[in-house]
Amino acid sequence: MSGDFGSPSPMQPLSVGNVVSAGIRLYRSHLKEYFLLALRAYLWILVPVYGWAKFYALTALISRLAFGDLVDQPESIAAGERYVNSRLWQFLLTMLLMLIVGMGVIFGVGFVFVLVGVLAAVVVGGIGQQANPAATVLVGLITFILGVAAFVAVLWLLTRFYLVEVPLAIEDNVDATSTIGRSWELTQGYVWRILLIGFVAFLIAIPIQILVQILITIIQLIFTPLMQQGSSFAAVLFFLLVLGLSFASGAVIAPFWQTIKAVIYYDLRSRREGLGLKLRDREI
């Protein structure tokens, strides 16, 4: 397949459409390899701790391989896997650090809404007292504005951490903490553009998600009567089928997101650091 990924200049950011189309072409050109890598990654989820690190490393490996194609320095899966395996525990530590960050964000948003609830009770007049209509409207308006602000803030933060695993899989002298800093540095000033890219990619992935939900619903309709009759075999088979379908669909979608990340990473590094990288017009 002909992969026309050419950009006018390595210092010019790719358009949203070019990023998404480049990700699609890279994925299609390595469909089998990326799918099998992602499927292996999902199977590792079943193994606590070590398996979670393997999942993170293998999905990041897809971005590494895609980036190698983009800069015309392709790498074998075996070589790439050796590299990410050498940083396995750094991937796990990165996951833990991001979990802490996520918990902090949830706590912060929850605290804001608890504070708003307390203030609302004071302003409106407390439980059991007649509420002032104007105060009720004001509290409702403030709550709505804070809700929108919290949603936007969470999206903004998630986008700043969008590339966290990619530098760790690609760059030398990067560890669990510095890879978070690299994501923060590279995405600065490009949050809304990355969000738009993510939204377009999400729309493209919707048909697959709809198909999976339809299949799960059909399986549920078939097995529910059997499970209601107390068949443990049907319950186990139902669980395995749904789990397998979920893993397979994840293995289809995950490489698409990882190739999109690789193109965004390439684009931001070219734009910020002037590395002289340029996408080739060539056969992928």
Q: How far is CA 273 from the centre of its chain?
A: 24
**What are the sequence ranges of the domains in the chain?**
2-283
Higher pLDDT, 132 or 32: 32
Q: What mean pLDDT comes out for the span 123-152?
A: 72
Concatenate the DSSP letters of all residues of 11-70 into one string. TSPPPHHHHHHHHHHHHHHTHHHHHHHHHHHHHHTTSTTHHHHHHHHHHHHHHHHHHHHH
pLDDT 10s digits, 103-124: 998 888 888 778 777 777 776 6
Average pLDDT, the chain: 85
pLDDT 10s digits, 62-106: 999 999 999 889 999 999 999 999 999 999 999 999 999 999 988
Q: What mean pLDDT comes out for the span 135-159?
A: 84
Give the pLDDT score at 284.
36
Q: What's the rounded Cα separation, in Å, for the pair 20 and 248?
A: 22
Give the pLDDT score at 4.
45
Stretch among 115-129, 220-234, 247-261 having the lowest mean pLDDT = 115-129
Q: Is the pLDDT of residue 205 over 50?
A: yes
> Among 102-111, 116-125, 250-259, 263-272, which range has the highest average pLDDT?
250-259
| Amino acid in the structure at residue 1 | M
Smallest CA-to-CA distance from 176 within 41, 56, 75 is with 56
Q: Is the pLDDT of residue 233 over 70?
A: yes
Give the pLDDT score at 69.
92
Give the pLDDT score at 123.
66
Confidence of residue 220 (pLDDT cuts 50, 70, 90): confident
